[in-house]
Amino acid sequence: MTAKILVSACLMGHAVRYDGQAKPLVHPALDRWRDEGRLVTICPEMSAGMPVPRLPAEIEPGKSAADVLSGYGRVLESGGGDVTDEFRQAAENALALALETGCTYALLIDGSPSCGTGFVYDGRFSGRRQPGEGVTAALLKANGIEVFSDAQIEELMALADGAR
């Protein structure tokens, strides 16, 4: 069976990021996987009804994605608005799509409070990175989907192409 891959829409060139931009990842594997029908594209935040553009959001200081999922942490906008419910819904939507379409892997944009896999921002809107993951990445991992950042595409390629 061919492994399917859930992928952040911004990595596929869709202008869906909070700032109305894309962050396209150019790699021959993405082109091949798209041609093979193996990619399932989603912007978790847009799936939860969040607009583009939107205010930057970060997981509150001292909390993790797991805290957000368990109700002990929040995702806050730079203007102070609480968008925790939207980010939890975004994660649920991404998980449902991954399960419905048979995705065993996810390729997500690092740094995002949804999709971050290796780092997120510190919750103070200071521009400082810290180790951690976003809410969607955490929920996907907790449900057995292997998650990779855009910087790990070679590692994903070795696994996903070996699973063909």
Mean pLDDT of the chain: 96
Number of structural domains the chain divides into? 1
In this predicted structure, the answer to whether residue 83 has a pLDDT above a threshold of 70 is yes
Q: Does the pTM exceed 0.85?
A: yes
Write down the pLDDT at residue 134.
Answer: 98
Task: State residue 163's pLDDT score.
Answer: 52
Give residue 70's identity as a one-letter amino acid code. S
Residue 164, pLDDT above cutoff 50: no
Give me the domain span that covers residue 145. 4-162
* Better pLDDT: 164 or 104: 104
